[in-house]
């Protein structure tokens, strides 16, 4: 945990961009961990979908979120960036949220300035933010609650007006936020992202999703302004598309043949390798039969 936080803090301070893949459960997180991406982002949008089968309207609780994050932390080695939503209440709740997620082992977490319960800006028609003073208090509470100074606090603003978003970002930075996260629907160009970074004096956290204008940014542009670059829901949407396609084919086929489906399947041998079957089997053998050591 400490080493991952130190690594992430160094990257934030030294200027190189950390690339995250989104994960909604432990299995997806394991796949991200085994990829060439730098770390795992625990997406609230995905957790709500995978855990509850419900939209991201802050229906799941802090305890449920922390439980998923804790399970993920037990199977991955790379740094975890957790979605902490609005902090789940007032400043005291924000403090508890930070302490629980830090204890679970995250290296960074994001807090947003929406009202609670929030609405994911990627899906909702509008975002309603709390008064600026209340949002600043959330960041103060997060900074005050963290035990490890290397834990990175990301402040997200969902303000729809660019000028207001820039002002809020500057205030959140003054309150101790390490990184600022804008939403794509507020800003319309790379020039505006540069303006945001210069105004708040902090590097940015960008959520890169298909269908948004940020998807057109080049790697050089992203790395010039961003400390964190995240593909939050690519894994989730890939799973949905693949499972839907294969189920439709199986429903049409209705035979004993479960192979040659539209979305490729890994073999059982491949799955056992990625899930760590052989390591656990060897561990069991060693513990139950010490004479074989």
pLDDT tens digits, one per residue of 258-285? 999 999 999 999 999 999 999 999 999 9
For residues 2 and 51, is the Cβ–Cβ distance under 8 A?
no
Q: Are residues 234 and 269 in the same domain?
A: no
Catalytic residue among 67, 120, 200, 283: 120
- What is the dihedral angle through the alpha carbons of 188, 198, 8, 177, rounded to the nearest 10 degrees? -90
DSSP state of 134: H
Is residue 120 part of the annotated active site? The answer reads yes
Q: What is the DSSP letter of 175?
A: T
CA 83, distance to chain mean position in Å, is: 5
Are 227 and 140 contained in the same domain? yes
In angstroms, the CA 41 to CA 24 distance is 9
Cα(238)–Cα(210) distance, rounded to whole angstroms? 12
**166 found inside a domain:** yes
Question: Do 23 and 210 contact (CB within 8 A), yes or no?
Answer: no
For 137, residues 6+ apart whose C-beta sits below 8 A from its C-beta are 91
Beta bridge partners of 111: 155
Same domain, 125 and 59: yes
Number of domains within the chain: 2
Give the pLDDT of residue 116: 85
Same domain? For 233 and 281 the reply is no
The answer to whether 83 and 56 have CB atoms below 8 angstroms apart is no
Q: Write out the two tokens for 94.
A: 């924000």
Domain of residue 277: give its range.
265-293
Measured CA distances, 54 to 48, 75, 128, 231, 239 (Å): 6, 25, 20, 20, 16
Residue 245 lies in a domain: no
How far is Cα 224 from Cα 214, in angstroms, rounded to an integer?
A: 14
Query: What are the C-alpha distances in Å from 132 to residues 93, 129, 158?
Result: 18, 8, 11
One domain for residues 275 and 182: no
Residues 276 and 227 occupy one common structural domain: no
Chosen domain end from 239, 257, 275: 239
In the chain, what is the greatest distance between 2 CA atoms, to the nearest angstrom?
70
Within a 13 Å sphere around the CA of 41, how many CA atoms are in the beta-carbon half? 28
- Residue 75: give its domain's CATH number: 3.20.20.60
Q: Are residues 225 and 274 in the same domain?
A: no
User: 287 and 235 in one domain?
Assistant: no
Q: How far is it, in rounded angstroms, from Cα 149 to Cα 5?
A: 9
Q: Residue 89 falls within a domain, yes or no? A: yes
Q: Specify the pTM.
A: 0.95
In this prediction, the residues of the chain whose per-residue pLDDT falls under 70 are 122-125, 293
DSSP category for residue 285: H
Q: Which two tokens stand for residue 218?
A: 């080049």
Closest CA to 50 of 86, 1, 94, 83: 83
Q: Do residues 234 and 292 share a domain?
A: no
Same domain, yes or no: 283 and 171: no
Whether residue 246 lies inside any domain: the answer is: no
Tokens of 93: 């709740």
Pairing of strands 226-231, 80-83: unpaired
Evaluate whether residue 255 is within a structural domain.
no
User: Which of 239, 255, 285 finishes a domain?
Assistant: 239
Same domain, 188 and 272: no
Q: Which letter does DSSP use for residue 214 in this model? A: G
Assigned domain for 254 exists = no
Residues 149, 286 within the same domain: no
Does the residue 257 lie in any domain? no
SS3 171: helix
**Could you tell me if residue 252 is inside a domain?**
no
Phi-psi region of 65 (alpha: psi -120 to 50; beta: other; left: phi over 0): alpha
66: number of Cβ within 10 Å: 22
């Amino acid at each position: 945990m400490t080493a991952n936080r130190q690594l992430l803090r160094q990257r934030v301070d030294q200027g190189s961009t950390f690339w995250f893949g989104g994960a909604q459960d432990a299995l997806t997180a394991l796949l991200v961990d085994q990829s060439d991406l730098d770390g795992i982002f625990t997406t609230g949008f995905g957790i709500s979908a995978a855990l509850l089968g419900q939209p991201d309207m802050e229906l799941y609780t802090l305890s449920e979120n922390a439980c998923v994050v804790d399970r993920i932390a037990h199977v991955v080695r790379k740094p975890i960036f957790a979605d902490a939503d609005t902090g789940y209440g007032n400043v005291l709740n924000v403090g508890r949220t930070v302490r629980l997620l830090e204890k679970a082992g995250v290296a960074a977490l994001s807090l947003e300035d929406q009202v609670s319960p929030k609405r994911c800006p990627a899906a909702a028609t509008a975002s309603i933010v709390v008064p600026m003073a209340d949002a600043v208090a959330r960041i103060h509470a997060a900074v005050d609650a963290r035990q490890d100074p290397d834990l990175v606090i990301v402040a997200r603003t969902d303000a729809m007006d660019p000028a207001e978003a820039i002002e809020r970002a500057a205030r959140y930075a003054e309150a101790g936020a390490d990184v600022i996260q804008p939403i794509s629907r507020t800003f319309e160009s790379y020039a505006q992202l540069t303006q945001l970074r210069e105004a708040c004096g902090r590097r940015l956290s960008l959520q890169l999703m298909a269908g948004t204008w940020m998807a057109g940014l080049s790697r050089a542009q992203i790395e010039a302004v961003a400390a964190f670059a995240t593909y939050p829901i690519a894994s989730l949407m890939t799973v949905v598309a693949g499972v839907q396609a294969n189920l439709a084919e199986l429903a049409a086929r209705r035979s004993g043949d479960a192979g040659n489906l539209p979305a490729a399947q890994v073999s059982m041998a491949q799955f056992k390798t990625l899930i760590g079957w052989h390591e656990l089997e060897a561990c069991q053998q060693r513990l139950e039969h010490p004479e074989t050591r």
